[in-house]
């Protein structure tokens, strides 16, 4: 849903999540983690609020549809240069999350939005892709294994 974020006076998206789907004890901490994400290819969470039945996320507005929609357009606007830019942006977003110790766990075309509408004349360098939907994201342990793992090939001497 398109809305206006009053503190910043900017157009934003409003995502409603039923409290029945959330862990009552952790959603606030999850939202705070989302608000801390700051990367050009991750959709920014600006704010959050709740009522008796739902939590609402106030997010950066992305008007260009998702990767799945673009794939349906076929080769009308895709060139190798377009694909290279998109893959680079996706890898940058995933690497950023991994460096923070998070795994998205739901990377699919529907979870990548374009910042603005595209057409047949959109040059590759004007593409701006944003990762969304961190509902399944997990924190992972970044510590190395305590004991080295030994590997050997079958029938190897020794």
- Inside any domain, residue 92: yes
> Does a structural domain hold residue 151?
no
The structure tokens listed for 113 are 């939005």
Is the residue at 146 inside a domain?
Answer: no
Tens-place pLDDT, residues 46-62? 999 999 999 999 999 99
For residue 42, give the nearest of 33, 34, 50, 54 by alpha carbon.
34
Section 11-35 average pLDDT? 83
Q: What is the pLDDT of residue 3?
A: 67
Domain extent at residue 124: 2-139
Q: Beta strands 2-5 and 10-18: pairing type? A: antiparallel
Task: Give the pTM.
Answer: 0.80
Annotated binding site, which residues? 15, 110-111
Phi then psi for residue 114, to 5 deg, are: -90, 135
CATH number of 38's domain: 1.10.510.10
Is residue 152 domain-resident?
Answer: no
Is residue 107 in some structural domain? Answer: yes
> In whole angstroms, what is the distance from residue 53 CA to residue 16 CA?
10
User: Containing H/E element for 139?
Assistant: strand 138-139
Residue with the two structure tokens 């593409």 = 127
Active site residues: 106
Residue 31 confidence (pLDDT): 83
- The token pair at 32 is 């705070």
Q: Point out the annotated binding site for ATP.
A: 15, 110-111
Whether residue 39 is contained in a domain is answered as yes
Q: Is residue 102 part of a domain?
A: yes
- pLDDT, mean of residues 31-42: 91
pLDDT digits over 58-90, tens only? 999 999 999 988 777 666 667 889 889 999 999
How far CA 91 is from CA of 80, 87, 144, in Å, comes to 16, 6, 23
Burial of 113 (0-12, 13-18, 19+ CB in 10 A): buried
Quick one: DSSP state of residue 2? E
Is residue 155 in some structural domain? no
Q: Please give the tally of structural domains in the chain.
A: 1
* pLDDT tens sequence across 90-138: 999 999 999 999 899 999 999 999 999 887 788 899 999 999 998 888 8
């Amino acid at each position: 849903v398109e809305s206006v974020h009053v503190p910043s006076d900017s157009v934003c998206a409003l995502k409603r999540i039923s409290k029945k789907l959330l862990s009552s004890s952790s959603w606030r901490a999850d939202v705070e983690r989302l608000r801390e994400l700051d990367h050009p290819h991750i959709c920014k969470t600006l704010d959050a609020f709740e009522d008796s039945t739902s939590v609402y996320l106030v997010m950066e507005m992305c008007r260009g549809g998702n990767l799945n929609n673009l794939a349906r357009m076929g080769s009308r606007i895709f060139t190798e240069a377009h694909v290279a830019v998109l893959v680079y942006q996706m890898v940058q977003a995933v690497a950023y999350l991994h460096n923070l110790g998070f795994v998205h766990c739901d990377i699919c075309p529907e979870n990548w939005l374009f910042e603005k509408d595209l057409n047949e004349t959109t040059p590759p360098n004007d593409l701006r892709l944003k990762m969304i939907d961190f509902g399944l994201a997990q924190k992972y342990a970044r510590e190395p294994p305590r004991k080295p793992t030994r590997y050997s090939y079958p029938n190897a001497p020794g």
